[in-house]
Amino acid sequence: MTLHAGIVGLPNVGKSTLFNAITQAGAEAANYPFCTIDPNVGIVHVPDSRLGVLADMVHPDRIVPATVEFVDIAGLVKGASKGEGLGNKFLSHIREVDAIVHVVRCFDDSNVIHVEGNVDPKRDIETIQLELILADLESIEKRLEKSEKLLKSGDKKAHVEVELLTKLKEAFDEGKAARSLSYTDEEKEILKTISLLSMKPILYAANVSEEDLTRGEENSYVQKVREIATEENSEVVMVCAKIESEIAELEDEEKQAFLEDLGLEESGLDRLIRAAFHLLGLMTFFTAGPMEVKAWTIRRGTKAPQAAGTIHTDFERGFIRAEVVSYSDFVAMGGLNGARDKGLVRLEGKDYVMADGDIVHFRFNV
């Protein structure tokens, strides 16, 4: 699976600049609202040092890293849920992504116009969140009306749905996102049938100045973002779109030297992807052979047959067993043969829950 992350934010917070930097896709970035109308899409590789280690051992014809698809979605203004500005397009594109990367401006610069006239992360976050909530409110009000009719007709299943929708409506009326509430297992099953925008996991990208990033301390703006994220169990990554733009123009060795000069261990892209994986409960397993070494993305808790299905549906349909060795054992034993000689290659069945870093060969028959 490929992680689809939608980059959103008010106009002129640096989201298109950040998108350009991490994807090198050349999306237009300009100092005025609504520069981005149709979403630009860029696919980037997930940085994983384990791929290089495996490739040095296996010597494959090619290396295939996992990928993340970033979608740069049009800027948002108040009233989007009612179609103001580019609201309808914005909301429709949000429905298609797995997670939202909300770029929040956390720096002062008189040369860069802010659509609201001044920098206020709390207000900016609330503006976008409110539009998502209002769109959700409209959706559940229609569904609640239908569910209440079913309840009156004696439909027992409608009782739980009415209670859930009523709980959501009350939360939305208070300005709370769906993701901030807790749910029973029964409610979670109903939620799978409702496409709620405010249920989407959010990763806040606090866009700071170069000085703040290299200093490594969170300024007062970032602290406000952190407080909001903590309340709703979201993630925060401090980035500098300007620095990411400079990194994007460098070769690999130059990138590392540039980061070291700034006193940084890794790029903002690395931090964003790691945080997004954690937010969505994702992990990686590998296939390694002479043709290719490849990283595959799955959700934590995925069992072997479903992991096999990410490679090909036939692998899941005809799953027999999985030959599994951990990454650490594979490396320590000098490869698959060494691990097998030490009895470290396991035969796992349909109930095996995959672990991060597993190196797998699936047996199947269709």
353 secondary structure, DSSP code? B
- Hey, is 222 helix, strand or coil? helix
Per-residue HEC secondary structure of 5-34 comes to EEEECCCCCCHHHHHHHHHCCCCCCCCCCC
- Say if residue 41 carries a ligand binding annotation: no
How far is it, in rounded angstroms, from Cα 168 to Cα 20?
37
- Say if residue 139 carries a ligand binding annotation: no
In one-letter notation, the amino acid at residue 278 is H
Segments in the chain forming alpha helices (H): 15-23, 49-58, 87-94, 121-152, 157-173, 185-191, 210-215, 220-231, 241-248, 252-261, 268-280, 304-311, 313-317, 327-332, 336-341
Q: Quick one: which of 216, 9, 5 has its CA closest to 105?
A: 9
In this structure, how many other beta carbons lie within 10 angstroms of the beta carbon of residue 227? 12
Handedness of CA 270, 275, 276, 281 (dihedral sign): positive
- Say if residue 175 carries a ligand binding annotation: no
Q: Under 8 Å CB-to-CB from 306, ≥6 apart: which residues?
A: 298, 316
- Say if residue 17 carries a ligand binding annotation: yes
Which residue ranges are tagged as binding site for ATP? 12-17
Annotated binding site: 12-17
